[in-house]
């Protein structure tokens, strides 16, 4: 009964700290190999749930040679290595698995995940294409391929077709439609982007955009030249709770766009000043100043109307 209760404790991050010491004591007192293995695997689950990468890596490293084909062990090991920023080791782990299981989809996907964790998006795309070329791609894999193209800022019609194919395969998954809408927005196809995003929101019963959708609508605003609106939309995109979720998130895309907007702002201001200094606009300004005065906000019928509303104050 105690073992069963402890097993329940380690399944949740909130209660894992209570269960782990009990399991650690039990492992130290264990006498049979099967008992030690079961307790070690239970500890692995607890450490993973708690996010203790160092202890997860230690257990996986010890068990790897005994159970080289274990899917659960491979996934836990890879995640812990990436969380520890041991990207070379994570890649080596995937390569070793592919030597044993040459067509293992988990290993191929792990390579993509590692590339994203490194924020090497061209490499992530290359590795995703490998999955597609091998004929092993599911809808989620094609969506992954299309999504990470957004991080390069170089979207082509073939990427839209990839996302469209993924959408058809998934029977219009909202997540994949979101990717498709973002791709359209990146290409400046605002109507298509707007329609697809609304379709996805309807599937999710969203009455207004959530964090991910605000990114896509902000990108549409940029297409229309509405930088202020885009900035406001981008401000509503929330940062993921876990650091390892940031590299592949809409939040990272927003950071990329904000850098571009910040870099372009001085250029736009300088362009506005240059336009204002052209002879035609200088002459227009001088005529306006002579007719209405330099401190008048507006003149003519509009100015008279505003003056009347303000009680004669112009």
pLDDT digits (tens, 9 = 90+) for 141-198: 999 999 999 999 999 999 999 999 999 999 999 999 999 999 999 999 999 999 999 9
CA distance linking residue 115 with residue 104, whole number of Å: 18
CA distance linking residue 150 with residue 24, whole number of Å: 45
* CA-based torsion, 54, 68, 23, 241: positive or negative: positive
Instruction: List the pLDDT tens digit at each of the 314 positions of the chain.
Output: 455 567 677 777 777 788 888 888 888 998 999 999 988 888 998 898 888 999 999 999 999 989 999 999 999 999 999 999 999 999 999 999 999 999 999 999 999 999 999 999 999 999 999 999 999 899 999 999 999 999 999 999 999 999 999 999 999 999 999 999 999 999 999 999 999 999 999 999 999 999 999 999 999 999 999 999 999 999 999 999 999 999 999 999 999 999 999 987 666 555 555 666 678 776 777 777 777 665 554 555 555 665 555 555 44
C-alpha separations of 157 from 8, 169, 176, 183, 224 in Å: 49, 18, 16, 9, 20
Q: Is 25 helix (H, G, I), strand (E, B) or coil?
A: helix
Task: Give the residue ranges of DSSP H helices in the chain.
Answer: 2-9, 16-29, 33-50, 53-64, 71-83, 87-100, 105-117, 121-133, 139-149, 157-169, 174-186, 190-203, 211-223, 227-234, 250-276, 279-292, 300-309
The separation between the first and the last C-alpha atoms of the chain, rounded to the nearest angstrom, is 84
Helices (H) and strands (E) in the chain, counts: 17, 0
């Amino acid at each position: 009964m105690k073992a069963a209760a402890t097993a329940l404790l380690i399944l949740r991050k909130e209660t894992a700290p209570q269960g782990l010491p009990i399991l650690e004591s039990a492992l130290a007192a264990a006498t049979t190999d099967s008992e030690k293995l079961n307790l070690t695997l239970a500890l692995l689950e607890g450490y993973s749930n708690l996010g203790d990468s160092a202890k997860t890596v230690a257990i996986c490293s010890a068990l790897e040679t005994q159970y080289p084909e274990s899917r659960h062990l491979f996934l836990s090991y890879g995640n812990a290595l990436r969380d520890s920023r041991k990207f070379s080791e994570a890649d080596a782990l995937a390569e070793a698995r592919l030597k044993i299981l040459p067509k293992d989809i988990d290993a191929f996907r792990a390579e993509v995940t590692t590339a994203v964790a490194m924020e090497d998006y061209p490499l992530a795309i290359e590795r995703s294409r490998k999955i597609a070329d091998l004929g092993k791609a599911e809808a989620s894999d094609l969506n992954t391929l299309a999504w990470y193209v957004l991080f390069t800022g170089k979207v082509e019609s073939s990427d839209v077709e990839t996302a469209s194919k993924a959408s058809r395969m998934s029977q219009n998954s909202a997540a994949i439609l979101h990717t498709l809408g973002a791709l359209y927005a990146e290409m400046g196809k605002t109507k298509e982007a707007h329609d697809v995003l609304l379709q996805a929101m309807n599937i999710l019963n969203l009455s207004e955009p959530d964090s991910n959708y605000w990114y896509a609508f902000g990108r549409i605003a940029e297409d229309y030249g509405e930088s202020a609106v885009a900035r406001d939309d981008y401000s509503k995109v929330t940062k993921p709770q876990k650091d390892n979720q940031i590299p592949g998130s809409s939040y990272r895309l927003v950071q990329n766009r904000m850098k571009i907007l910040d870099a372009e702002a001085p250029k736009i201001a300088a362009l506005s000043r240059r336009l204002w200094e052209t002879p035609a606009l200088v002459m227009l300004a001088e005529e306006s100043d002579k007719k209405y005065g330099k401190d008048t906000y507006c003149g003519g019928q509009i100015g008279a109307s505003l003056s009347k509303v303000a009680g004669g104050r112009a």
